[in-house]
A = this chain, B = another copy of it.
Amino acid sequence: MAVANRGKEVGNKREQILHAAVEKFLEKDYYQVTVTEIAELAEVGKGTVYEYFSSKEELFKESFYYCADSYLQLFKTHFVEISSARQTMEEIFVKHLALIKENRNKLHLLFNERPQSLQELQSWILERRQELIGGVTGLVKEGIKLGEIRPDVDVEMAGRLFLALNQMVIGEMVILDNIELEEERVKDLLDIYWNGIGYSRRWQGH
C-alpha cells in the first residue's frame, strides 16, 4: 500500500479524478462520457467522484478550467512590459503554436462540445474572452504609442483580429487536425496581419 501510494500527495484523489475526467472529456463529448468511465480510469469508486465533485457538470467545469489555464497564461504573461508590439505578437504567436503542438489534446477540450446548460461556464468563458480582448487591444495601443502600428487603426478590431488569427491556427490544427502547419507558414499569417495583402506603393517600389 505504501508503495502504491508513493509520490502521491494529499488531495491526490481529487487530482486523479480530475486528470481522468480531462482525459475522457478530451476523447469524447460531454454527453458521451459517463461518470463510471471516469471513476474507472481514476481507479476510484463511483461514489468517490461525488466526494470531490458535486456533479458531473461540476467535474466538467473544473476540467475545462484546468485545460483553459495554460492557454490563458500564454497571453497574460505577454501583456506586461512590452518593448515592441510586433515582437510581442510574434512571441505570442510562436508560443501559441508551440503550445498547440505540445498540448493538442488539452486544447481540444476547450473547443469540444460543452453543454450549453452550463451557464456558469459560458459566463466564465465570456469573461476570460473579454480579458483577452482587453489585453490584445492594449497591445495594439502600445504598438501605436511605440510608432509600430499605424494610429488610424481601429484598435479593438485589430486586437480581435489578432485573437482570431491565433484561434484560426487552433482551428486548423486542433479541431480539424488535418494539417501540419509549419512554423514558416504560420509566420506568413502574422506577416499578412502586419502588412496586409494589398499591393500598395510600398510593394510597387520593389
Contacts and interface: CB of A to CB of B under 8 A. Distances in A.
Contact of A199 (B113, B149, B188): B149
A157 B29 contact: no
A150 B203 contact: yes
Contacts of A113: 29-30, 112-116
A157 B192 contact: yes
Interface residues of A, number: 53
A197 interface: yes
Contact of A197 (B31, B158, B168, B203): B158
Interface of A: 28-32, 86, 112-117, 126, 129, 140, 143, 147-154, 156-158, 160-161, 164-165, 167-168, 171-172, 176, 178, 185, 188-189, 192-203, 205
